[in-house]
A and B are shown apart, each in its own frame.
Chain A
Amino acid sequence: MTEATNVETKKPLLEVKNLKKSFPIKRGFLQRTVGHVRAVDDVSFTINEGETLSLVGESGCGKTTTVRAIMRAVSPDEGEVLFRTSEEETVDLAELSLSQIRPLRRNIQMIFQDPFSSLNPRMNIFQLISEPLLVNGIGNHQEREDRVTELLRQVGLRPEYMQRFPHAFSGGQRQRIGIARALALNPRLIVADEPVSGLDVSVQAQVINLMMDLQDEFGLTYLFVSHDLSVVNQISDRVVVMYVGRVVEVGTPQELFRNPKHPYTSALISALPITDPTQRVERPVLEGEIANPANPPSGCYFHPRCPFATEQCKVEAPPLQMSSSGRLVSCHRVEELDLAGAGKLGAAAE
């Protein structure tokens, strides 16, 4: 890119500010709106160029809706999605009309979760991977074929496979095809929504390695969405932990997983199975269920399940702010709690 890349590697590529999206709940014969599901409830984060930012959380935490709002598959209700284009212009994707977005779409590409349903079974690999080029009117047939050959090599598939159809490939290979398709237009940002959760462990590692290699080679920026903390640990530079549509903690994987500051992060970690059978301990299990985003609790959304909740937590929602440890946490008691190490959750609650 520019000469200044070295100095400017930390430049934000995408800034999400106070993003909100809710969906109406309609009931009855007249389909009257009886309430709203607050899928994304004031989410802010920044992705710097060349880094991998992960959104992590359990089902219903709003990670997929956040991504869909960034991609403008749904239109956000409020907030800004500031994206720096290749012309170094900053545009607000949340404000643009769909026709204004269209030329920008090539800058943001997506890798999907299910490698089986995300590839059209009637298109061969060449058609699948060259489709983005065709749609954007790039190159003639020969040039597109050369580009597809190059892409297939980059993702570790043999170019001879170009005329085959998706059914001839395994899940891991299909995910490679999906990655090649996403790379075809040299996007500035790749959004990967649970890209490895449908894969077997042995194949999962290959795909994660491939994504990291491609990032090193081409300086890609990833927004990685996953519910799997261990995968997130492996691939991320920074992690955003979400709970019921809100960000609860942001930090590097080392910081978050070794020394969580939010009780929910700590609970997530202690719920992970311990992979050493000699270390089986009775660990505290987080009680209750994920709050209903259609009818969230008052105050801090996590307070009904939080062993450290106080009166303040029940009435006042904690803001996401910088704690003294230099990490963004939304918890009233962030300065007094020590959550380092899994298992503290129950011990401290006694």
Chain B
Amino acid sequence: MNMQPTESETVITEQETGTLPLLAVEDLQTYFFTDEGTVKAVDGASFEVLPGQTLGIVGESGCGKSITAKSILQIIDSPGQIVGGQVKLSLDGTESRNLLDMEPNGIEIRAIRGGEISMIFQEPMTSFSPVHTFGNQIVEAIRLHSSLDADEAHELAVDWMRRVGIPSPEQRMSEYAYQFSGGQRQRAMIAMALCTEPRILIADEPTTALDVTTQAQILDILQSLQKQNEMSILFITHDLGVIAEVADVVAVMYLGKVVEIGPVETIFASPKHPYTKALLSSMPTIDAAPRERMPSITGAIPHPQNRPSGCSFHPRCPSYMSDICGLKEPELMSVGTDQQASCFLYGRD
């Protein structure tokens, strides 16, 4: 379908890290088979994550960004199913394994979850067991993925609690989730995710539920730990401001598809897809003149069951062309250095 081998391969060879990207998601399709019909939550998403890089996936609700992340680790809840595509993990740059070939409950993928690829979530309260201490949960994660004994694992867990900035970690190891504040729970979750030294961290809206000052602290910690561990981050958020802070490469998603992808500076300085442009201009900032009308996107995000024909953004698009946009689906095409967008404004083939 929409593979773009020529473009993406040039990107990889420029990086001197072998021939294969650390993680390559190709034409991923995850559908939800509900009683009311099929919802194409992710419908042909492709992107790559390079070592040490942060890929930001940004989009509004229903764009499939979280489902994309969960598909990578095959943790999709029923009635969702991954129906197509590949997720290639290549730890050394020469050989790759397709994670989607693995049994969803098999030993292989379970070693990768929390091992090579860890994940942190938006709601740290529901991500922890309420009846086990933090210490036990972190120690369990460490022991699952290493051969350390209980004491060594305990020591390592305390060390990680300290590294994420939890005061008096030794004492807090024996506390429960409800005893922590939101920011500290998120820190503990980061500690639990990183204690196995994963190559890739998938962060799904990790700061959305936090206050701005706490958000700044958490982003700071993530970035400094990323540097120390040379870890790649797949950062999923709806907040363009956060993307501007953390991402190296940005993929913009709309209704299950990547509509634009490119280096963060390019995406913010010269967005090409009308949706990216609209999203950026409707973002409120404190530099804007107060009491002025904000540019907004007309209409609402369509229900995923009534996906518009052709380009799914066409009913809301200010540059809608009646002769093509509603009829044909655009594919990602090159629109600048390392920048791709799926829009007929930049070519009609």
A residues at B contact (CB < 8 Å): 58-59, 170-173, 200-206, 208-209, 212-213, 227-231, 233-237, 252-254, 257, 267-278, 280, 283, 285-287, 289-290
Contacts and interface: CB of A to CB of B under 8 A. Distances in A.
A270 B265 CA distance: 21
B112 interface: no
Given A229-B286, A286-B217, 14 more contacts: A58-B214, A59-B182, A59-B211, A170-B303, A200-B60, A203-B297, A204-B282, A208-B284, A230-B286, A233-B286, A235-B290, A236-B290, A277-B244, A278-B265
B239 interface: yes
12 contacts: A200-B238, A202-B278, A202-B297, A205-B284, A231-B284, A233-B290, A236-B290, A271-B212, A272-B286, A275-B240, A289-B181, A289-B183
B213 A58 contact: yes
Contacts of A290: 211, 213
Interface string B287-320: 0101111111110110100000000000000000
A253 B288 CA distance: 10
B190 to A, nearest CB: 15
B109 interface: no
Interface residues of B, number: 47
A275 B291 contact: no
A233 B286 CA distance: 6
Contacts of A270: 216
Contact of B245 (A172, A203, A274): A274
List of 10 A-B pairs having minimum Cβ-Cβ separation, nearest first:
A273-B241, A205-B296, A58-B211, A200-B60, A202-B297, A230-B284, A271-B216, A170-B300, A205-B282, A205-B294
Contacts, number: 143
Contacts of A229: 212, 286
Contact of A274 (B211, B244, B279, B303): B244
Nearest to A203: B300
A206 B283 CA distance: 11
Contacts of A231: 284
Given A274-B244, A275-B244, A290-B211, A201 B300 contact: no
Contacts of B25: none
A204 B284 contact: yes
B264 interface: yes
Given A209-B294, A277-B268, A285 B284 contact: no
Nearest to B290: A253
Given A234-B290, A289-B183, A275 B213 contact: no
Looking at chain A's contact residues, is the secondary structure mostly helix, strand, loop, or mixed?
Answer: helix
B241 A272 contact: yes
A322 to B, nearest CB: 22
B247 interface: yes
A93 to B, nearest CB: 28
A231 B283 CA distance: 9
Contact of A234 (B214, B245, B292, B303): B292
B244 A173 contact: no
Given A252-B290, A285-B220, A290-B211, A233 B244 contact: no
A257 B286 contact: yes
A273 B242 contact: yes
Contacts of A274: 241, 244-245
Contacts of A275: 240-241, 244, 268, 283, 285
A234 B288 CA distance: 7
A200 B255 CA distance: 13
Contact of B60 (A202, A252, A277): A202
B213 A212 contact: no
B291 A235 contact: yes
A213 B292 CA distance: 10
B293 A272 contact: no
A170 B299 CA distance: 10
A273 B239 contact: yes
Contacts of B241: 272-275
A283 B184 CA distance: 21
A273 B207 CA distance: 12
